Structure 1
Amino acid sequence: MIHYRIRPLRPEAHLFQVTLTVAEPTPEGQGLTLPAWIPGSYMIRDFARHIVSLEARAGDRPLDVAKIDKQTWQLPPVDGPVTVDYQVYAWDLSVRGAHLDTTHGYFNGPCVFLAAMGFEDQPCEVDIEAPVGAAYGTWKLATGLERVSGPELGFGRFRAEDHDALLDHPVEMGDFDHAEFEACGVPHQVVLSGRHRADMARLCRDLRPICEHHIKLFGEPAPMKRYLFMTLVTNGYGGLEHRNSTSLMSPRTDLPLRTDAPNEVRDGYRSYLGLCSHEYFHTWNVKRIKPEAFTPFDLRGEVHTELLWAFEGITSYYDDLSLARTGLISPQSYLELLGQTLTRVYRGQGRFKQTVTESSFDAWTRFYQQDENAPNAIVSYYAKGALIALALDLTLRRETNDEKSLDDLMRLLWQRHGQTGQGVPEQGIRPLAEEVAGTDLGDFFDLALYRTEDLPLEELLAERGVTLNWRPAEGHGDNGGKQGGKPGGKAGHAPVHLGVRVAADPGGARVQVAYEQGAAMAAGLSAGDVIIAVDGIKVDAASLDTMLAGYSEGERVEVHAFRRDELMRFTVDLAPSEPTTAWLSLDGDVLNDKGRAWLLNRR
């Protein structure tokens, strides 16, 4: 047995103290290593850089420790057990890292648990201890790890079947709120950390149908005995999947409030439910149905695959679709979300320069390390992957007269790969899809995965009684999904746009992205410039669109902006916004039979 002990040593200094004991170290001297990345987040993060001290001993005798590379240590040969004591600095407030202060503690295993090399397949036990002091007397603990000792939601001893399992069960500790519900007989727990006024009963009531939808889609029984939703209430947003839990970050305004109408789903809450749905779907799609390249994970360096479009894109398709299928949101609300996804993909020129398989393969160096030119150079395997999933779903339905769908493909993937543990080959999706369709789908997969032309979504959606409409953006904050018709524009003229995405800045409107073929880029404006005036009138991020609404196509404006500490002037010839903002409408404002078969999964 490999044994760990971890405790918040000094919350105010953000330090975890970890002790690793190896009962029978390797004869040639025990090697130790820490992962360079965490599954689900495809970027080298070099967690070992947060180890601030490391010492080893055999009994009471100190041992020399040799560092071999950035994340590997070597101990000398010894007889009997070795103990390694080390401290980890935890100040990464994200779902990927470790964070500790006087209000809460959180860690992912890859950040804190050194592997005893050669023993990765051995069972592990870990004692998780509370910080010392009366101020922490009310702290509780939540984790998906199997409990050996200690009360429910208390500190104690936990077990993992091997080191990989130890890494895949994050831990939250603090004075959090919690609630429980059941879905298909599986206990689910909800933990909210941070200040909030959320209606937790409402949250459990709404999460239950989402979880049951996903479980029933793949087939009962669920692959986990229990499940844990952990949410840190903060200004951030994001999630990371694990085998029987998920770590989430959400603004408090996105949570349901007791003052909300009983069936009201505000936009922010819709976003949070979609995030929960996304990470829960990953319980099957990527945690158990995996690319062959991830079987097993090699966390020492980059592992490339072209399949992230399927594991993230298909998941991104089902996350919002399930909200409509369970009745949590209306079909119109779902179509609004789909319009936003279309807008994200079509607004950038990157979709013409990178295929979705290239985007998957280059996730490590491009998607996860985006710069200001990303919309002009890359395509998201999340967003375009979701559109491919939509097109594949509608294609399978067309070929089988709605007898088969993407649901059947996912169940087949679960049976052939998820339940067997056999990784999905790089070319493994197409033959299973063709098995479901009963026909050759080579042209579809060639277009969707290896070319940069747009998918035939207008035609596929029209068969379902849904019209795909395009219009110009009505400002830099227009995310699409809605019909438009913003008041205040100049009568009879299409709205003009600088072709930038801006953010608030103390000095004005900071350019985050200058889109290719946009008026701003043509005039010389660049990302990082802070626009302070248009035609001599002061503007900021909030007023820029209002100012431009008074202009028409072909007019010329003078834009003043700071680049670094230099004031610059640009002459911009205004042009109408490109019609890359999508919204969808229902023929006759109601779903037809084919539309219900797809969107509501009703035949």
Structure 2
Amino acid sequence: MKLSTLTQFICLILLCMNSTTGKATGSVNISYTITFPEAQAHYADVEMNITGLQQKTLILKMPVWTPGSYLVREYSKNVESFTAEVKGKAVAAEKIRKNAWRINTENVSAVKVRYRVYSFELSVRTSFIDAAHAFLSNAGIFIYPDGMLHHPSTIHIVPYKGWTKVSTSLDKVNGDPFTLYSPDYDILFDSPIEVGNQDVFGFKVGNTEYEVAMCGAGNYDKDKLTRDMPKIIEHEAAIYGENPNKRYVFIVHNTSRGGGGLEHLSSTVLGASRENYATERGYQGFLSLVAHEHFHLWNVKRLRPIVLGPFDYDNENYTTDLWIAEGFTAYYQDIIIRRTNLYPVENYLGVLAADINYVANQPGNKIQTLAEASYDAWIKYYRPNENSPNTNISYYNKGSIMALMFDLEIINDTKGKYSLDDVMHYMYHTYYKTLKRGYTDKEFKQGVEKFAGKNLDEFYRKYVYGLEDIDFDKYLGYAGYHLTDEFAGTNEPSLGIVTQTPNGRIFVSTVMRNSSAWVDGINVGDEIVAVDSAKVTDVNAILNGKKVGDKINISVLRDGLPLTLPVTLLKRTQVKYKIDSVERPSEQQMLVRKKWLSIQ
């Protein structure tokens, strides 16, 4: 649409007007210099230079959370020694809220700010610095000017002694790996930086260059990874019909008991156990993590719930659709490994059975809906306590099962013409590529219905917004499978507790809802010392020789004081499913099975 001459003139005047909150950004230049003079003490020193200012007041902020990890982490708690200066002279920097500082910039065009960030939490979402390396999770490192989220910046890194490499998806300036450029703060906060002496190797898939930065020693096989990781990437890109990145970086932290991952627009950070690559289970687990986080470059980072971008970095960003964003990705992480033949069919069915068992055995599945689990991630999923199994359900596991159900339903009803892949492809191209926005709850449902060829109101009522039991056999039956409960027909008692045994002492860490322990008052924190006056040294032996209905006396120490509790043993209610083939699958069932599991 063309603008009239008068309208153009008015717009020009508005753009040139000064702002009192830091929104006049046209000629502003922002740069950072990061040094590590005390890397051994886990500090990054940050110098921020801002020039071209025109406003009377400058407010600087640090995000309170990082996209992809739905918890307010209060990154500003790690900031210290915050100072500001103008023309070499100190000026007041008033802290006006937990994550914001205000500087008077009337008649001031340039400000230099210095601060330190303590970084000693090694995870995929927090920064970690020691003498060996620095991992910068940028939402917790870089303070930004309020109103200038869309402004570019440059970052110059001065490495600690002996550090020679930088791994990040940010662009280099003039080919200098220690000078980086970010077009805006959404990109900067979504582009973690690894500095040190990481083992770097790579490969190319289609037109996309991939870098793998292995941080820390591990028994990984680079040749094997460069052979298998591209298979995963090719299958994922085929679903969406394109790979939107020209370059992508895997940052992998190898530790004694690593795990987890966090997706980014053009990179990901993975936690891995350094000695697990050599076992089949460990290696397949790592590939599954690779598949999960890489799949996010489409699902979440581009195809996303509408509220997940543009981001509010000061507050929680609520959505009821994390079961799609994370659950569907959890489904694809394993079905993709199966499609590459890196999982045999039986391995994949075992992984799927584990998901089903988790959901079926979690008491919280009867309390919290999938939509509620998504919405309350900020206060529940990332802040679990001893009662969480009784009140919560994971939108990862149950969301993955929803994806499975949609996939099998679509394949069955269309006789193999369509699958969930077609839904994801359609949603990506419709909302991200064409409409250039996220989807609403209603729009995603309509996308599934388009390929399922049916109204899904009842499905959503039961399983997304409701608490009804899932008819697993119905959906698995489309592919000629059914569940077998290995506990069926047994009549064994259970206390319904989870314990921890520090120094050989037995402490209750969880009491499952409606179990024997729940009903008769065993508490989390109780130390079990005896049963029927006999000292207990092995928690697994407590119920030896006992049957359902027996009454036992459990002696505990509660807050250091002795207490004896009479307990009536109830029947174990847990299931242990495995997935078996029906005896004689029909032609239709085999059609669905072959399509679903990529069986030739």
Give me the TM-score of the superposition, normalised by structure 1: 0.89
Question: Could you tell me how far 1:430 is from its partner in structure 2?
Answer: 0.9
Q: Is 1:270 matched up with 2:284?
A: yes
Question: Could you tell me how far 1:497 is from its partner in structure 2?
Answer: 2.5
Cα distance, 1:159–1:72 mapped onto 2, change above 3 Å: same
Deviates more, 1:571-580 or 1:287-296: 571-580
1:202-281 map, 5 Å: 202-220=224-242, 222-234=243-255, 235-254=257-276, 256-257=277-278, 265=280, 267-281=281-295
Cα distance, 1:472–1:544 mapped onto 2, change above 3 Å: farther
Is the CA contact (8 Å cut-off) linking 1:237 and 1:250 kept in structure 2? yes
Q: 1:201 aligns with which of 196, 215, 223?
A: 223
Match of 2:352 in 1: 338
Q: Which amino acid aligns with 1:413?
A: M
Q: Is 1:544 matched up with 2:558?
A: no
Question: Could you tell me how far 1:212 is from its partner in structure 2?
Answer: 1.2
Is the CA contact (8 Å cut-off) linking 1:67 and 1:73 kept in structure 2? yes
Q: Which amino acid aligns with 1:174?
A: G
Match of 1:498 in 2: 495
Q: Distance in 2 between matches of 1:527 and 1:571?
A: 16
Q: Is 1:570 matched up with 2:565?
A: yes
Q: 2:131 aligns with which of 73, 97, 102?
A: 102
- The sequence identity of aligned pairs, in percent, is 31
SS in 2 for 1:293: coil
Cα distance, 1:18–1:503 mapped onto 2, change above 3 Å: same
1:493-532 map, 5 Å: 494-532=491-529
Cα distance, 1:52–1:276 mapped onto 2, change above 3 Å: same
Question: Residue by residue, what CA displacement relative to the aligned partner does 1:155-208 show, whole Å, maximum 9, x if unpaired?
Answer: 510111111101111111223222212223422222222232222222232222
Match of 2:68 in 1: 40
1:457-468 map, 5 Å: 457-468=472-483
Q: Which amino acid aligns with 2:286?
A: Y
Q: 1:65 aligns with which of 88, 93, 111?
A: 93
Q: Distance in 2 between matches of 1:299 and 1:275?
A: 27
Cα distance, 1:497–1:200 mapped onto 2, change above 3 Å: farther
Q: Is 1:184 matched up with 2:206?
A: yes
Q: Distance in 2 between matches of 1:195 and 1:572?
A: 50
Cα distance, 1:268–1:557 mapped onto 2, change above 3 Å: farther
Q: Distance in 1 between matches of 2:124 and 2:268?
A: 9
Cα distance, 1:366–1:178 mapped onto 2, change above 3 Å: same
Q: 2:576 aligns with which of 575, 581, 584?
A: 581
Q: Is 1:122 matched up with 2:147?
A: no
Match of 2:9 in 1: none
Q: Distance in 2 between matches of 1:599 and 1:437?
A: 15
1:275-294 map, 5 Å: 275-294=289-308
SS in 2 for 1:418: helix
Deviates more, 1:553-562 or 1:23-32: 553-562
Q: Is 1:436 matched up with 2:412?
A: no
Match of 1:91 in 2: 120
Q: Is 1:3 matched up with 2:31?
A: yes
Q: Distance in 2 between matches of 1:175 and 1:538?
A: 53
SS in 1 for 2:509: strand
Question: Residue by residue, what CA displacement relative to the aligned partner does 1:442-474 show, whole Å, maximum 9, x if unpaired?
Answer: 22222221111022221110121111122449x
Q: 1:82 aligns with which of 97, 111, 114?
A: 111
Q: 1:145 aligns with which of 165, 170, 173?
A: 170
Deviates more, 1:171-180 or 1:222-231: 171-180
Q: Which amino acid aligns with 1:82?
A: V
Q: Which amino acid aligns with 1:204?
A: T
Match of 2:467 in 1: 452
Q: Distance in 1 between matches of 2:347 and 2:529?
A: 37
Q: Which runs of 5+ in 2 are unaligned?
A: 1-28
Question: Could you tell me how far 1:417 is from its partner in structure 2?
Answer: 1.7
Question: Could you tell me how far 1:549 is from its partner in structure 2?
Answer: 4.9
Q: Which amino acid aligns with 1:433?
A: V
SS in 2 for 1:358: helix
Q: Distance in 2 between matches of 1:427 and 1:567?
A: 56
Give me the TM-score of the superposition, normalised by structure 2: 0.90
SS in 2 for 1:430: helix
Match of 2:342 in 1: 328
Question: Residue by residue, what CA displacement relative to the aligned partner does 1:351-372 show, whole Å, maximum 9, x if unpaired?
Answer: 1111111111111112221211
1:410-425 map, 5 Å: 410-420=424-434, 421-425=436-440
Question: Residue by residue, what CA displacement relative to the aligned partner does 1:575-597 show, whole Å, maximum 9, x if unpaired?
Answer: 33214332211235999623533
Question: Could you tell me how far 1:389 is from its partner in structure 2?
Answer: 1.0
Q: Which amino acid aligns with 2:577?
A: A
1:392-411 map, 5 Å: 392-411=406-425
Cα distance, 1:558–1:176 mapped onto 2, change above 3 Å: farther
SS in 2 for 1:253: coil
SS in 2 for 1:5: strand
Question: Could you tell me how far 1:546 is from its partner in structure 2?
Answer: 4.9
Is the CA contact (8 Å cut-off) linking 2:493 and 2:571 kept in structure 1? yes
Is the CA contact (8 Å cut-off) linking 2:337 and 2:343 kept in structure 1? yes
Question: Residue by residue, what CA displacement relative to the aligned partner does 1:3-35 show, whole Å, maximum 9, x if unpaired?
Answer: 111122311221101111111124122110011
Match of 2:49 in 1: 21
Q: Distance in 1 between matches of 2:102 and 2:559?
A: 47
1:345-356 map, 5 Å: 345-356=359-370
| Paired residue total | 567
C-alpha RMSD over aligned residues: 2.2
Q: Point out the structure with max Rg over C-alpha.
A: 2
Question: Residue by residue, what CA displacement relative to the aligned partner does 1:54-89 show, whole Å, maximum 9, x if unpaired?
Answer: 111112121111111111111112422211111111
Is the CA contact (8 Å cut-off) linking 1:26 and 1:118 kept in structure 2? no
Is the CA contact (8 Å cut-off) linking 1:464 and 1:598 kept in structure 2? no
Match of 2:4 in 1: none
Q: Which runs of 5+ in 1 are unaligned?
A: 474-491
Q: Which amino acid aligns with 1:159?
A: Y
Q: Which amino acid aligns with 1:160?
A: S
Q: Distance in 2 between matches of 1:26 and 1:532?
A: 71
Match of 1:51 in 2: 79
SS in 2 for 1:552: coil
Deviates more, 1:314-323 or 1:432-441: 432-441
Question: Could you tell me how far 1:432 is from its partner in structure 2?
Answer: 1.1
Q: Which amino acid aligns with 1:364?
A: W
Question: Residue by residue, what CA displacement relative to the aligned partner does 1:76-111 show, whole Å, maximum 9, x if unpaired?
Answer: 124222111111111122111111112221111110
Q: Distance in 1 between matches of 2:344 and 2:83?
A: 58
